[in-house]
Amino acid sequence: MYRYDVIDKTLVDERVAQFRDQTRRFLAGELSEDEFRHLRLRNGLYIQTHAPMLRVAIPYGLLSSKQLRTLGSIARRYDRGYGHFTTRQNIQYNWPRIEDVPDILAELAAVEMHAIQTSGNCIRNVTSDPLAGAVPDEIEDPRPWCEIIRQWSSFHPEFTYLPRKFKIAVTGSPRDRAASQLHDIGVHIARGPNGEPGFEILAGGGLGRTPVIGQVVRDFLPREHLLSYLEAILRVYNREGRRDNIHKARIKILVKALGIEEFRRRVEAEWESFKGHGPRTPVEEIERVRAFFAPHSYRVLEDTDPCAGQEAAFRAWYRYNTHDHKIPGYRIVFISLKKPDVAPGDATDAQMELIADLADRYSLGEVRVTHTQNLVLGDVEQDKTLELWRSLAQAGLATPNIGTLTDMICCPGLDFCSLANAGSIEVAKLINERFEDYDYLYDLGEIDLKMSGCMNACGHHHVGAIGILGVDKGGEEWYQITIGGAAGSDASLGHVIGPSVAKRDVPETLARLLEVYVRERQPDERFLDTVRRLGVKPFKERVYAAPAAA
Amino acid sequence: MPRRLLRDGAIVVDEWRTAGDGAALADDAALMLSLAEFRAERERWLARAAPLGVILAPADNEQELVSDLARLALVAAEFPTVSEGRGYTQGRLLRERWGFAGELRARGAIRRDQVFLLARCGFNSFELPESELEGAEAALRTFSAAYQPSNDRGLGAALRHR
């Protein structure tokens, strides 16, 4: 993985000093709440329902074991012993004290981490495929490009006061595991007509109140021009994006208002006017960064069947929580953070430290964070998966539900967030209580359940095969259900099935949707595909047919 | 007490006046005008011998000034709120695309915490509350390195680049 040189180190250290001074001035009354707000937000610090929340960047979701150990240690010493992994591959602490934040940042800087631009109207932490570099289906490892974008976007002099937040995702595989079509810019590694390396560029995707799927701005961009092209898009957006209405300020609204043709024309015109002297990534720099992501020195092994003769619990875990690796004899292992009685995405200090140790022992010292709020050990020898499973199971980290209904995405909701209408964590608990039979979950197969506590859509409900959105009705929590959404290569937005339902009826509503699926599905058809084939109608009819059983 | 500002890394008296400063304007006073004021009586202002400047509102396009840039001693970008970001683009393009070499000034709701990035966009003067001036002078040294090639002339010292 990438390691800091003197430039990177200088920048994060100087950032800590800058933020320490800003915090001191705020606590001394020299900065008003509002003045400090603009500064702290660009450093991931929110003031939340109960306490400040600090969001720490995990660039493109990749952590060393040492970094994860530090995250665990921070959780124990500055928080209440846990952290929350987010849909943007970051981690959030919900209980730090403002006066401690500069010290936390200093500890992060010591392990080459930071909270720069994890919130605020600026270019956010770049996200990517959590399986990058380990999967067989990749054109090219996207992480070097993520790192190049991370550096370019950090303290970008021109684009730190944008109309609204700005998210970029990069993928290197035809299978989109980074929800790239739902980002302000999606960068897809591609090949030109003669096989030359470059990118397809999308813009204007996003969730929130107005969900939109991104559109192609450029079919093929030669790789050395990536940064100048991103600058052209950002410049058009910075100048022309709306600043009068926070709900209409994302680039998706600009792209919609202009139409993709006109938006493309403006971006191309801007790009043509400066690409000759704009930032260009020379081959030496591309190679310098790529060297950090060179393939590991894998052992020469053969594929084996670790499940042969083993107990059913291991076999279920192996089937659901591991994935093919590009190297024979290796396996990608998911660590589920979706244990039924735990808030989705949460991990304790001890769990983080244990996972760091397991990464050292079994997976070349690296851990990845997925946008579905799980962790991944990317390079595990197949013969070691049984040992690894036993260690994970003892720590409550082997819930065999990856890709199933209970592997749900969920925002922190009312329990922590000052924006939320609904206690999404509580609903997650109700769902887990209702759907605790693994045979049934496995029979249902792959279903993305995504839940947001409010229309800001941090839980990506629009792109869940089943989406759940918390709404406020006269001070009560209600839930609007959508079906048919997807975040992958076949991205689509879900359809509302009808009036929202009361909290206690959410599990029954899901049960009825699933009942229709089980009745109507064709062999090997996913829930999503059944919905696409039949439309909302049969589901709607069943859900609203009669009052939910008490 | 005359108003002071931060220019080229030093705290100096601001000799520039705006049209709003009243009729007592001396013939040789350096004068900065909004783009609308400038356009309304362009010939008259250009005929004046004293230094002339134009203030851009966030929605103004600096390209409109290109043919007059050689005659302007100052261009200012207005920041009505701290979250206003269009001036950063105006400044950068004035320096890098249109080759403006005069005083590039930031004014409005900016504080010491914005001057570093503004300087990297080519701004070399900053109108700030008196209480912010010393802090802003130090803030020009917030970072000693940078990732992006940019126009750092407002910083007074070169940043380390890779």
Q: What is the DSSP string of A59-106?
A: GGGEEEHHHHHHHHHHHHHHSSSEEEE-TTS-EEES---GGGHHHHHH
Tell me the chain A residues in contact with residue B117 when contact means C-beta distances shorter than 8 Å: 155, 157, 160
* Cβ atoms within 10 Å of A171's Cβ, excluding its own: 27
Using CB atoms, which residue from A161, A274, A279 is nearest to B88? A161
- Min CA distance, B117 vs chain A (Å)? 5
User: What pLDDT score was predicted for residue A510?
Assistant: 97
- Among B residues 32-91, those touching chain A with beta carbons less than 8 Å apart: 58, 82-86, 88-89
Q: How confident is the model at residue B80 (pLDDT cuts 50, 70, 90)?
A: very high
Q: Domains for chain A: give ranges and CATH numbers.
A: 6-110 (3.90.480.20), 127-289 (3.30.413.10), 312-394 (3.30.70.3340), 409-543 (3.30.413.10)
- Read off the amino acid at residue A411: C
Band (pLDDT 50/70/90 cuts) for residue B28 is: confident
User: Quick check: A116 pLDDT over 60?
Assistant: yes
User: Model confidence at B158, in pLDDT bands (50, 70, 90)?
Assistant: confident
> What number is the average pLDDT over the span A365-369?
98
Cβ atoms of residues A401 and A407 within 8 Å: yes
3-class secondary structure, A512? helix
Q: Kindly give the residue spans of alpha helices, DSSP state H, lying in A154-279.
A: 226-240, 251-258, 260-274
Work out the minimum CA distance from B162 to partner chain A, whole angstroms.
Answer: 7
- Average pLDDT of A393-414? 92
Residues of chain B with C-beta less than 8 angstroms from the C-beta of A279: 148-149
- Residues of B whose CB is below 8 A from A26: none
B111 touches chain A (CB under 8 A): yes
Q: pLDDT tens-digit profile of A286-331? A: 999 999 999 999 999 999 999 999 999 999 999 999 999 999 999 9
Across A168-172, A339-343, A383-387, least confident range? A339-343
Gap between the Cα atoms of A428 and A459, Å rounded: 12
In the prediction, which pLDDT does A49 show? 61
| Polymer length of chain A | 550
Residue A550 is predicted with a pLDDT of: 42
Q: Is the pLDDT of residue A413 over 80?
A: no
Cβ of A157 within 8 Å of Cβ of B121? The answer is yes
Question: How much is the pLDDT for B124?
Answer: 96
Closest CA to A347 of A382, A375, A313: A375
- Of residues A18, A152, A274, nearest to B147 (C-beta): A152
> pLDDT per residue over A270-289, tens digit each?
999 988 877 888 999 999 99
Chain A positions touching B83 (Cβ under 8 A) are 38, 121, 161, 243
> Least CB-CB distance to B84: which of A5, A155, A161?
A161
Confidence label for A73 from pLDDT (cuts 50, 70 and 90)? very high
The whole-number pLDDT of residue A48 equals 67
Checking if the pLDDT of B151 tops 80, the result is: no
Give me chain A's average pLDDT, please.
94
Query: Looking at the partner chain, which of A14, A151, A239 has a beta carbon nearest the beta carbon of B89?
Result: A239
pLDDT at residue A477 is higher than 60: yes
A179-190 average pLDDT score: 97
pLDDT band, very low/low/confident/very high, at B24 (cuts 50, 70, 90): low
pLDDT of residue A50: 64
- Min Cα distance B135 → chain A (Å) is 11
Q: How large is the average pLDDT for residues B81-97?
A: 96
Select the CATH number that applies to the domain covering B4-155 from these four: 3.30.1490.20, 3.50.50.60, 3.20.20.70, 1.10.3720.10: 3.20.20.70
Give me the pLDDT at residue A280, please: 85
B-chain residue closest to A234, CA distance: B89
pLDDT of residue A517: 98
pLDDT over 70 percentage in chain A:
97
Rounded to a whole number of angstroms, the distance between the first and last alpha carbons of chain A is 53
Confidence band of A425 (pLDDT split at 50, 70, 90): confident
- C-beta atoms of A155 and B117 within 8 A: yes
User: CA–CA separation, B145 vs B161, rounded Å?
Assistant: 6
Residue in B88, B121, B162 closest to A7 by CB = B162
Q: What is the mean pLDDT of residues B55-81?
A: 97
pLDDT score for B23: 56
**Span A517-545, average pLDDT:** 96
